[in-house]
Chain A
Amino acid sequence: MENIKFFGKVFGYVLRGGCFIHIFQTHFYEFTETRGESMLPTLNSTYDFVYSSKYYRNGRGLEKGDCIVSLKPTDPDQRVCKRITGMPGDLILIDPSLQKAFNDDTELEEDDNFNKYIRVPKGHCWVTGDNLAHSLDSRSYNSLPLGLIKGKIIAANDFNKPFYENGIFYGFRKIKNNYIDEPE
C-alpha cells in the first residue's frame, strides 16, 4: 500500500512537471537543436542549438527577414527553420536558378523561369533557406500558411565552439533580421 501511494505521488509530480515544461515550450520559449544544411551561413548543420520565442507563433508580428520555425506543409511531423522572404501581397520571382543550361544571352530571355512570378496569398508567407542551393522551401512546396509557424528564432548557441572564447559562451550570437530595403 505504501509503495503504491509513493509511486502515485512520484507519477503525479512527473506528470505535472512534464506538462508544465510542454506548455512552456509551446507557448513561451524553447531551446532545441537544429539540424540540416538549409540555413548554413546562419546556423550550422550540426550541434547548433537555437532559442525560439513562441510569442510569434501563428505569424503574429512577424516581418520580412525574420528566421522562423514552422511545420513542413508536406510533412507536418517535421519542423523546418527558414527565413521569411515574402509577406502577403508581395510579388515574388519564384526561382531563376531552375534554368536549363544556357550559353548566350538570347536563351536567357527565352527562359521561362526568369519570368515566373507568384503573388503571396492572404495569410501566407514565402520562406526560403539561407543556403538556396541546398534547401527545400517555398520554391518547391509553395507559400507557407502562417498557421504552421511555431515561433521565431532570436539567438543561437554553437556547441562546436569552446565553452568560453573572447567573452562568448559556446559561440552565442543573436540572429537578426537581415532584410535591407533597397531604394528603387
Chain B
Amino acid sequence: MIISQLNQLRNQFNPTRLKSTLKYTSKWSFLILSWIPVLMVFNEHVIYIGKIEGSSMRPTFNPSSTSFQDWVLLWKFGIKDHHNGLKHNDIVLFKSPENPNKILCKRIKALQGDIVVTRHPYPRETCVIPRNHLWVEGDNIHSIDSNNFGPISKGLVVGKATKIIWPWNRIGDIPNGGREVRLNKIKQI
C-alpha cells in the first residue's frame, strides 16, 4: 500500500516530467505575454473602441438618456497628418485641457487660420484659431467645449470617431450635426 503510494508520488515529481511541464508553461506564457505590447501599440496608434458618456453630443450620440450608451470605433492612424488628417466636421476624442485624465468627445468646427463666431461663455465675439489648433463644439447646445476653454492643440487629440458600433439599431456612419461657426461660411449664407 505504502509502496504503491510512494511510487505514485515519485511518478508525480518525476524530474523529466516536471521539466517538460515547466518548459511547456514557460513557452506558452512567453508567447502570450510577448504579444501584449504589440496589442497595446496597435490600440494606441491604429484602432480602438470608445464609449460615449453624457449628453453633450446629443442627438448624434446617446439620443435619449434611457437607451444604451454608444460605443464608437476610434481611428488613430494618420490623424497627425497635416493635409488629410483631421478635417472639418470630424468627431474627435481628446484629453480635456482642464483635466488631462478626462477624455472628451466633440466635433471639429474650425481648423487653423479660420475665424470663429463664438458663443456665450467665451469672452470675445470672434476668435482666430492659432497654428495646429482646433475649435471643437458639442452638437448639443449644453456642452463644455471650446467656448469655455478656447481652441485646443492638435497634440491633445486621441482619436477620430468613424463608426457607431453599438447599439445595434444605429450601427454605421455618424450623422452630421452642430452649427456653422466659421465667419466666412456664415457670410456666404
B19 to chain A, nearest CB (A): 24
B68 at the interface (CB under 8 A from A): no
Contact B34 A121 (CB under 8 A): no
Contact B37 A121 (CB under 8 A): no
Contact A76 B41 (CB under 8 A): no
B132 at the interface (CB under 8 A from A): yes
Chain B contacts for A122, CB-based, 8 A: 98-99
Contact B38 A148 (CB under 8 A): no
Q: Cα distance A19–B156 when bound, in Å?
A: 22
Question: B95-134 interface mask toward A, CB cutoff 8 Å, 1 = contact, 0 = none?
Answer: 1111111000000000000000000000000000011110
Choice from B35, B131, B154 contacting A16 with Cβ under 8 Å: B35
Contact A146 B132 (CB under 8 A): no
Choice from A19, A59, A121, A149 contacting B149 with Cβ under 8 Å: A121
- The A-contacting residues of B in range 7-62, CB under 8 angstroms, are 34-35, 37-38, 40-41, 44
A166 at the interface (CB under 8 A from B): no
A8 at the interface (CB under 8 A from B): no
Contact B40 A145 (CB under 8 A): no
Q: Cα distance A113–B117 when bound, in Å?
A: 29
Number of residues of chain A lying within 8 A (CB) of chain B: 26
A123 at the interface (CB under 8 A from B): yes
A74 at the interface (CB under 8 A from B): yes
Q: Cα distance A19–B100 when bound, in Å?
A: 25
- The B-contacting residues of A in range 1-51, CB under 8 angstroms, are 15-16, 19-20, 22-23, 26
A-B contact pairs, 29 of them (CB 8 A): A15-B38, A16-B35, A19-B40, A19-B41, A20-B34, A20-B37, A23-B40, A58-B95, A58-B100, A71-B153, A72-B155, A73-B133, A74-B131, A76-B132, A76-B153, A76-B154, A76-B155, A121-B97, A121-B149, A122-B98, A123-B96, A141-B130, A145-B100, A146-B100, A147-B96, A147-B100, A147-B155, A148-B155, A148-B156
Contacts beyond the supplied A72-B155, A121-B98: 16 A-B pairs with Cβ under 8 Å:
A16-B34, A22-B41, A23-B41, A58-B95, A58-B100, A58-B101, A59-B100, A71-B153, A74-B133, A76-B80, A123-B98, A141-B130, A145-B97, A145-B152, A145-B156, A147-B100
**In the A-B complex, the 8 residue pairs with the closest CB atoms:** A76-B155, A147-B95, A147-B100, A123-B98, A73-B153, A71-B155, A58-B100, A19-B37
